[in-house]
A and B are shown apart, each in its own frame.
Chain A
Amino acid sequence: MAPGAWRCAVMPSMGLTIGVCSATFRTAPFGVRERAAEPVAGILAETGASDRAWIDSGPDDGGWRIGAAGRWTLDAAGPASAALDAAPRPGRGAAVRLDMARVEALDTVGAYLLGRLAERLTVEGHAVAVVGLRPEHAALFGAVRDAGKAPPRPVQREHRPIVDMVVRTGETTVGAVKEALDLVGFLGLVTVTFLRLILRPSRLRLTSVLFHIEQTGLNALPILGLLSFLIGVVLAFQGADQLKRFGAELYVVNLLGISVLREIGILMTAIIVAGRSGSAFTAQIGTMKVNQEVDAIGTMGLDPVELLVVPRALALMITLPLLAFYADVMGLFGGAVMAYATLDITFGQFIRQLHSAVGINTVIAGLIKAPVFALVIAMVGCYEGLKVSGSAESVGIMTTKAVVEGIFLVIVIDAVFSVLFSFLGV
């Protein structure tokens, strides 16, 4: 090595960086560091020669020589990058020879680091000559140098927190309004398709409708039954606790009857179905959209709304009232069991009291909402499914949106019904 040379070894296994090496050098005039002792060589011996990249840099007959040696691969790249950044720079305008004769192994990252070094030196005004490149490395080095030449375009957007927040709020608001309008438009489209099918019932896909009745109705029975039963139990238990204080235990039946039949039964059903079937609709139609199946339907002269949306909506409008009735029965049954267990109200007493407490109009006030909820859930589910674009991620986003919007609309419409019923005096 030439006198006054600088040398650093990089050993990935030890994570050794230039900090250790450069400590032994002291800066001399003209930006050239003079070599002190040989501690670097000592460290080198310890690690063995298997996995290291090293570089030495120093003046060499009139010019400057940078010698790379060892294994310039991905494993050594982190420390090697740091070492290259810290390596002493040649004097102004000196011709640089980048000697790669002793490079044993080279991969893309190593080639990039050395190429970047050569590029930087060139930019600083040195004439850089790469010498000693082994034939098996030449192609790689050339390819990486060419690829690395494309200048990085820094994509830095100005960060303006307050303006960004206002913009986002505005975008979300406009988006929500547009979404609501689109949904109303979609409702119109589905209605028109429905009417067309009523005129030509033979076009209705009965098999599809029955399939979705099974999927959304029959298969939902176990979970819906269990949850409604438990809600009935909880309501009866809490109601009994309060009513006991007034000695009005029997009125727990009234409480149960009104709340389950009017609100809780149908609301629970709608929420469970929105989570279960609304999301399934979005995922099914969304995946079809990703696979271009929806496009295929369109090109075959078929109507995606007629083929995909109407059977689902119709199936849900048939199943949801039935499911709601089933949830009512299970909820009352749960309440009756609890009333028997804690208040000693027999089933006979329970039914007699129920008869006197609620009329048929209470039941109807609950169940009349079911088809409306069904239509809303199916519409939102199918609409979001058709809005899926391109990717798998989009299916996930839209499915989440369908469930949230479905449940939101169900509760809003329930509130509207309550106001309406109170006006009508039902």
Chain B
Amino acid sequence: MGDAPVIRVRGLVTRFGPQTIHDGLDLDVERGEVLGVVGGSGTGKSVLLKEILGLIQPAAGTIELLGHDIAGLDRAERTALQARTGVLFQNGALFSSMTVAENVMLPLKEHTALPPALIAEVARVKIAMAGLPPDAGTKHPAQLSGGMIKRAGLARALALDPDILFLDEPTAGLDPIGAAAFDALIQGLQRSLGLTVFMVTHDLDSLTSICDRIAVLVDKTIRVGTLAQHLADPHPWIHEYFHGPRGRAALDAKERNAALRHAKG
């Protein structure tokens, strides 16, 4: 694969009626990185995610996923590409008529020719890797808590061992302990599976703790950089975002953790 970016967006323009959401947006996501995407309400974070996933057609611009322009794909190529991406939607989007195990098994059944017994075993491993107890597999989504639904959604997103994992506000609606655990889970899986993670989030702790780079949607385009670069950015929204009370708290926590780790060894 070389060093070509796994996601490459060029000159993206998005319009809803008279309203322009993105205007000439460029974005590269490198293999193996965790990119956090932030932005105010209505700046088109989720829209960008949906465009990269091919759920919405942009008004102009190109989007390349793993080296393929997603606009020019035929059905088979699109399916093959979709098998290499995993998506965790904001509310899990688990199929409510199926159990958790069936949800995880569905992509394996559709996209592979594995024997059913092996599919069931692989699903069990994925459910365990997502940090769910073994008996969660037989439950229906309605019987799960919010955090467990997210974990189950993550297990389904990872079913086919994707190259890229898309997360839409993964820690929204979780308590701080659950959110931190989920961050750690994502980071652990990202390292062990070698995932590229594209994460839309508003959780400043996630941004500071697990994201390699941060993309900020401002002024209808996007500014990508490390946390340190954004901290030095004079743009008023970015400054407010990272230097506001919540931003400061998250940064302080990060520094404290780093100091602790340093002290320990």
> Could you tell me which A residues sit within 8 Å of B by CB distance?
73-75, 77-78, 81-82, 107-109, 112, 116, 136, 139-140, 142-144, 146-148, 150-153, 155, 389-394
CA distance A389 to B96 in the complex (A): 11
Q: Select which of B112, B118, B161 is within 8 A of A108 by beta carbon.
A: B161
Q: Bound state CA distance, A142 and B129, in angstroms?
A: 11
Whether the pair B113, A147 counts as a contact (CB closer than 8 A) is no
Query: Which of the residues A75, A112, A143, A390 comes within 8 Å of B121, measured between beta carbons?
Result: A112
Report the bound CA distance from A390 to B144 in whole Å.
Answer: 11
Q: How far is the CA of A381 from the CA of B191 in the complex (A)?
A: 52
A residues near B128, Cβ cutoff 8 Å: 146-148, 150
Among A74, A136, A151, find the residue whose CB has the most chain B CB atoms closer than 10 A.
Answer: A74
Chain B 124-164, CB-CB to A under 8 Å as 1, else 0, gives 11101100001100101110000000000000001011000
Structural contact, B96 and A391, CB atoms closer than 8 A: yes
Pairwise interchain contact B122-A78, C-beta atoms closer than 8 A: no
| CB proximity of B71 to chain A, nearest CB, Å | 27
Residue B194 at the chain A interface, CB threshold 8 Å: yes
Does B114 count as interface, using CB distance less than 8 angstroms?
A: yes
* Interface residues of chain A: helix, strand, loop or mixed (majority): helix
B interface residues, Cβ below 8 angstroms from A: 96-97, 112-115, 118, 121-122, 124-126, 128-129, 134-135, 138, 140-142, 158, 160-161, 188-189, 191-194
Chain B residues, Cβ within 8 Å of A392? 96
Q: Are A150 and B192 in contact (CB under 8 A)?
A: no
Instruction: Decide yes or no: A140 and B193 within 8 Å by CB, A109-B122, A148-B128 being known contacts.
Output: yes
Least CB separation from A151: chain B residue: B134
Partner of A78, one of B115, B121, B134, B194: B115
Q: Is the CB of A139 within 8 A of B191?
A: yes
Please tell me if the beta carbons of B118 and A73 are within 8 angstroms of each other in the complex: no
Residues of B within 8 A of A109 (CB): 114, 118, 122, 161
Total A-B contacts with CB atoms under 8 angstroms apart: 82
Complex CA–CA separation, A240 to B126 (angstroms):
71
> In the complex, A148→B122 CA distance in Å?
9
A136 nearest CB neighbor, chain B only: B194
Asked if A143 contacts B189 (CB within 8 A), the reply is yes
Q: Hey, which chain B residues are within 8 Å of A389, CB to CB? A: 142
Q: Which of B112, B114, B129 contacts A143 (CB 8 A)?
A: B129
Whether A142 lies near B192 (C-beta < 8 A) is: yes
Known: A74-B161, A112-B125. 6 other contacts (CB 8 A): A77-B118, A108-B122, A108-B126, A108-B193, A136-B194, A152-B124
- Known A-B contacts A139-B191, A390-B96, A391-B142; A77 and B112 likewise in contact (beta carbons under 8 Å): yes
User: Given A108-B129, A112-B121, do A81 and B115 touch, yes or no (CB 8 Å)?
Assistant: yes
Q: Are B118 and A147 in contact (CB under 8 A)?
A: no
Q: How far is the CB of B146 from chain A (nearest CB, A)?
A: 13
In the A-B complex, the 7 residue pairs with the closest CB atoms: A391-B96, A147-B128, A139-B192, A390-B142, A107-B161, A147-B129, A143-B192
Per the bound structure, the CA–CA distance linking A73 and B194 in Å amounts to 14
B108 to chain A, nearest CB (A): 8
Residue of A whose beta carbon sits closest to that of B158: A108
Minimum C-beta distance from B114 to chain A (A): 5
Determine the distance from Cα of A155 to Cα of B101 in the docked complex, in whole angstroms: 13
User: What are the residues of chain A within 8 A of B135 when measuring CB–CB?
Assistant: 153
Known interface pairs A108-B161, A109-B161. Does A78 touch B191 (Cβ–Cβ under 8 Å)?
Answer: no
From B97, B160, B192, contact of A140 by CB (8 A): B192
